[in-house]
C-alpha cells in the first residue's frame, strides 16, 4: 500500500478483555515497530521486528503484551486482560532498515480506550 495501515482506528473495550491491533507496513519494509503514546506524552517503544530475526521485545511493559509478525508483512499486537492504564494510541511504523539508521513511516494509530 501507499503507507502504513493500522486497524481498527478506534477501539473501546471493557477492562479484562483481550484486544488485537493490526498493522500493515509499507511493502518491502523489513523493519516494523510498535510504539505507545499516552495522552500528551511521548512515544514509548514497545517492540521491533526485523526480517526473520528474533524480535526486540525489550519495551513491552508486561507479559500481557505480545506481538507477532508474519515474515515481512502484517503484524498483530495483542493485549490480554486489558487494564485502564493500557488506554493510549498505539502506533506502528515501518522502515527499510533499522530505525536508528533511516526514516520510519508511521501509521495513523489505533486509539484504545479501556473502560
Partner 1 sequence: QQPVQSPQAVILREGEDAVINCSSSKALYSVHWYRQKHGEAPVFLMILLKGGEQKGHDKISASFNEKKQQSSLYLTASQLSYSGTYFCGTPSGSGYALNFGKGTSLLVTP
Closest by CA to 77, choosing from 43, 115, 38, 32, is 32
CB 103, min distance to partner 1, A:
4
Candidates 13-21, 27-35, 68-76, 79-87; binding stretch for partner 1 (CB under 8 A): 27-35
The cell numbers describing 70, all together, are: 508474519
- For residue 69, the tally of other CB atoms under 10 A from its CB is 21
Residue that has been written with the C-alpha cell 508486561 in this structure: 62
Chain-centroid distance, C-alpha 70: 14
Candidates 15-23, 62-70, 80-88, 95-103; binding stretch for partner 1 (CB under 8 A): 95-103
Q: Among 109, 110, 112, 114, which residue sits at the site for partner 1 (rule: CB under 8 A)?
A: 109
CB 34, min distance to partner 1, A:
9
Distances (CA, A) of 39 to 54, 60, 82, 101: 31, 18, 17, 28
CB 37, min distance to partner 1, A:
9
Nearer to partner 1, 82 or 94 (CB): 94
Using DSSP's 3-state secondary structure scheme, residue 2 falls into: coil
Window 30-69: contact mask with partner 1 (x via CB under 8 A): -x-x-x-----xxxxx--x-x-----x-xx----------
Amino acid at each position: 500500500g501507499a503507507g502504513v495501515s493500522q486497524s481498527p482506528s478506534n477501539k473501546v473495550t471493557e477492562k479484562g478483555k483481550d484486544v488485537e491491533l493490526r498493522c500493515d507496513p509499507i511493502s518491502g519494509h523489513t523493519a516494523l515497530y510498535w510504539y505507545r503514546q499516552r495522552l500528551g506524552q511521548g512515544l514509548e517503544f514497545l517492540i521491533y521486528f526485523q526480517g526473520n530475526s528474533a524480535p526486540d521485545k525489550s519495551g513491552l511493559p508486561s507479559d500481557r503484551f505480545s506481538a507477532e509478525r508474519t515474515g515481512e508483512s502484517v503484524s498483530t499486537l495483542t493485549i490480554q486482560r486489558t487494564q485502564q492504564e493500557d488506554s493510549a494510541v498505539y502506533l506502528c511504523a515501518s522502515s527499510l532498515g533499522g530505525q536508528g539508521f533511516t526514516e520510519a513511516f508511521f501509521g495513523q494509530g489505533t486509539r484504545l480506550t479501556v473502560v
